[in-house]
Chains A and B, each alone.
Chain A
Amino acid sequence: MKLKKRIPVIDQGDRLGFWGGKFGGNFVPETLKKPIEDLEMQFNKLKNDKNFIKERDKYFKNWIGTPTRFIKLNNLTKHVGGAQIWSKVVSDANGGAHKIYNATVHCLLAKRKGKKVIIGDTGAGYAGKMLSMAAKKFGLKCKIFMGAKDIKRQQPNVKAMKKNGADVIPVYSGSQTLVDAVSECMRYWVANCDTTAMCVGSTVGPAIFVRICGWSTSQISRELKVQLINEFGEIPKKLKLYNCVGGGSSSFGFWNEFMDYNKKQVEFIGVEAGGPSKSKRHAAPLTYGSKIGILHGAAQYVNQNSDGQIEETESISAGLDYPGISPLHCFLKDTKRARYTAASDEEALKAYQIVTKYENLRPSLEPSHAFSVAIKEAKKLSKDTIVIINSCGDAYKDRGILEKRLGKKYVKSN
């Protein structure tokens, strides 16, 4: 299995949508074949269309607010005492997370297709919040599917979705988290694909959704590349990019533009959710060697039992609490372009405490996983190494969990 150079990774799949011959694909009911083919045709045409890109960039700039900041974390660097620690503050984006890029692109596509309704899944609530924002902006009706357990633990985002006029549909089946929300959303699309557009909230699902999402979030690394050259005059000789990985949309977007660099120069480190340290359950299929299986239309490494039933996950962070992982990350793992590891709930909480103590930055529980590993590794790295963590979400949505686990002083009012 080999990663090709000078071809975008999203376009390296084969005719049937498999990366490396085995990850991804289209394991979907017959009914969805046609809408998926339509979307493929539309996207393949538009992704090279100058006018469409202009339109996208206009909304990215004026509405989402690009570029998001690239800042040095001086106090944290001093405290850790090793590599230089920087952050790409993607949570600056309108709405507070990277999910806005994919949501905006899906709404632009839906609008052009003349669809009136857009549906989506959500775990942490960011994908849903952003889709509800974008749908409102573009005049589309919006339905968001969300696990009942996640609705309880991510109330601020649920309120935001409702404020934007979206229907939030609680999903009570299975573990009542993201995995069930995605299933229910796909089922709804099966029954309504003639009138309704679907947005999958991450780089998961049938191949076309993986591609659209990866294309959209790549905005992050496009910006970062320019910012690095402005700051250092070149791409640093020793660069390490840390990102949390659940479905994998922010990490893929954070890395995409650096894909062709030698990994000795630009290393990618994906941090999965290891779950509570005392529990056997986790949401880290790459770190803990899960087998390949089919989930939500795509072949991927996925937590499952020997029969093929998908296993329940456990993580403090709703956004990473998913048993599978993007086919793109399976591909990057097996081609050895990226390295994957995990952080536990407790480690993520500790990292959150450290970051908020030293810096005026409040990463949500998802990027706190990445901070945890980055802080640990930066200690042992030379001063000329540039460590960058994608702070892809803001902790406002986690205030309930943070208050419960860490006490009131860690929750600042907004």
Chain B
Amino acid sequence: MLNPISLAFKKAKNESRPALLTYTVAGDSSKKQSLEILKAISNHADILEVGVPHNTPVADGGQIQTSSYRAIKNGIKMNDIFKIVSDFKKSKNSKPVIFMGYYNMIYQYGENNFLKKCKQSGVNGLIVVDLPWPENKNFSKKCKKNLINFIQLLSPTTSNKRLKSITKDSHDMIYYISMLSTTGGKLKVSPKRILANYNKIKKISPKKNCVIGFGITEKTISNFKNTDGLVVGSQICKEITRSLSNRQNPVINVSKMVSKLKKKIS
């Protein structure tokens, strides 16, 4: 049986489009609202990345930092985040959930405890920004045992030799970072070059689902229609910030944005 993440990719492929992955920060701007946002966007997105906010993020740009600080300021705790996921998983339109965050949060919770909680609440995959290969070998094995996808990251600086080793150790999904940038950077590389790297990865590892993230927005997304999946994060976080400062409802605005994104790749 396919795991829920692979199933989501398969479904998108059947509709001849890339899977749409969204990223929102748990607890942004409140526990309740971030759950509502998840419920609303899952009508359009295929896989939901849930950011676990951390206060010393070394790879996030301004938009996601703003969302993270907002969530932390509002008192979000690790257990609240698990609760948000389990509540979301009870909703009728639930989709696969991937946590994205920094290793210290897992380390303090205890790897085994963390994975147990992931399983209980329905987390399907993990992206740990600052736990690269080969440092992640043991933990990714533990994830596999618990039927949780550990998602390896690849970047333009990843050497070919590393690329081969990492994809070999990866599970069903891989994440390609489109350019040298923190999250939310402007796309500074041509889509052609990004796709060339993407195709190189697919050639080495044709069976794995490879998504592209960083710099993907309403403006750029349609350049990447022939891929397995695309991640939009900072633009959504920015929309939440914008909505809040205009006293509009972020749930409605974000939902509209994700619906538009979906149309652009359908």
Contact = CB atoms under 8 A, between A and B. Distances in A.
A193 interface: yes
Interface in A24-57: 25-35
B184 to A, nearest CB: 10
Contact of B103 (A27, A187, A310): A27
A191 B181 contact: yes
B159 A34 contact: yes
B131 A27 contact: yes
A304 B105 CA distance: 11
Nearest to B176: A30
A192 interface: yes
A183 B158 contact: no
B222 interface: no
Contacts of A7: none
Contacts of B157: 30-35, 193-194
A297 interface: yes
Given A25-B135, A29-B130, A308-B108, A294 B69 contact: no
B75 to A, nearest CB: 11
A192 B181 CA distance: 7
Pairs A-B, 7 closest by C-beta atoms: A308-B108, A34-B157, A294-B104, A31-B155, A308-B104, A27-B130, A29-B59
Contacts of A293: 104, 107-108
Interface of A: 16, 25-35, 173-174, 179-180, 183, 186-187, 190-194, 291, 293-297, 304, 306-310
Contact of B132 (A26, A186, A294, A307): A26
Nearest to A29: B59
Contact of B135 (A26, A31, A32, A308): A26
B88 interface: no
A30 B155 contact: yes
16 contacts: A25-B135, A29-B130, A30-B133, A30-B154, A30-B177, A180-B56, A187-B61, A190-B181, A293-B107, A295-B56, A296-B56, A306-B108, A307-B78, A308-B108, A310-B55, A310-B56
B142 interface: no
Contacts, number: 109
Q: Which of B154, B155, B157 has the most CB of A within 10 A?
A: B157
B130 A294 contact: yes
Interface string B36-64: 00000000000000000011111111000
User: Does more than half of chain B's interface fall in helix, strand or loop, or is it mixed?
Assistant: loop
A294 B56 CA distance: 10
B147 interface: no
Interface string B77-104: 1100000000000000000000000111
Interface of B: 54-61, 65, 69, 72, 77-78, 102-105, 107-109, 129-135, 153-159, 162, 177, 180-182, 185
Contacts of B135: 16, 25-27
Contacts of A192: 180
A294 B60 CA distance: 16
Given A28-B58, A307-B108, A309-B72, 18 more contacts: A25-B135, A26-B132, A27-B103, A27-B130, A29-B129, A29-B153, A30-B154, A31-B59, A34-B158, A173-B69, A187-B61, A190-B181, A192-B180, A193-B180, A293-B107, A294-B130, A304-B108, A308-B109
A28 B180 contact: no
A411 to B, nearest CB: 35
Nearest to B188: A191
A180 B78 CA distance: 22
Contacts of A26: 132, 135
A304 B104 contact: yes
B108 A31 contact: no
B132 A173 contact: no
Contacts of B156: 31
